[in-house]
Amino acid sequence: MGTFILAGFIIGLTSNFHCIGMCGPIAMAIPVNRKNNLTILSGALQYNFGRIITYSLLGALVGIIGLSIQTFGILQWLSIIAGIGLIIFAWKKYLYRIIPFKIPTFGFQTQLNKGLGKIIRSHSPFKLLLLGILNGLLPCGMVFVALSNAILTGDILSSSIAMLAFGVGTLPAMMAVVFMMNKISPVARKRMNKAVPYLLTVVGLLIILRGMNLGIPFISPTVKMVEKKIETVDGEKEVESSVQMDCCHQK
């Protein structure tokens, strides 16, 4: 489980440059009380706590799917597919020039934007928290990548924690932009965005290696089927099968 949680956190950290370039303007638009740094910090924490709540719930949701498909070997293929998907996402802007494509939204984002507008105009004391919760549902390639990692954990709790780790990984950028967005020049944001594909490619390759079962400690640990006999209440013996990841290769 720790491998997937660490991967979620790394994906979140890698997302920071992406967040500054793409989500920074949204973070700057939230109605934070800018009376002093303490009120700004409080508002930013409420907003980001809401985002992390949504990510954790989404993780629990895909964890249910993971429970239904967890059979020996499938997790390895899912890891490879997720890594390839991450690399494709990293270079999608350049791939689009070769093969134009568009992801359908089915009107979901329009309805979500209306909901965000209503909350911004409201006077609820939980306004910032609710904004964060809804913002966590906005279509984002990095969130999809994090979810593809979370589903590999195979259970609800681990998947939820992996997404929580992703949310924590995005905090540095999302907290910083609330304080410093006006100080980050368009040129600096452009340079950060240029670095994103390379960082995501490295993470994607690591996820692919993790699914290849190469026996490399921590990077590509051995995944094997373990069978053990257990005695039931009736005194009968049954064979219990489980998938074991030998991260440190201890014999």
Q: Are residues 207 and 217 in the same domain?
A: no
Tell the residue number behind the tokens 């006999």, with chain if given: 229
Q: What is residue 111's predicted lDDT score, i.e. its pLDDT?
A: 75
Q: What residue type is assigned to position 171 of the chain?
A: L
With a cut of 70, list the residues of the chain below it in pLDDT: 1-3, 18-29, 66-73, 75, 101-109, 113, 181-184, 189, 192, 217-251
Q: State whether the Cα torsion 38-39-45-46 is positive or negative.
A: positive
> Do residue 191 and residue 223 come from a single domain?
no
135 and 242: one domain?
Answer: no
Residues 89, 38 share a domain: yes
Q: Are residues 111 and 20 in the same domain?
A: yes
Number of folded domains that form the chain: 2
Going by C-alpha positions, the residue among 197, 220, 74, 89 that lies closest to residue 146 is: 89
Write out the residue range of the structural domain in which residue 246 sits: 213-251
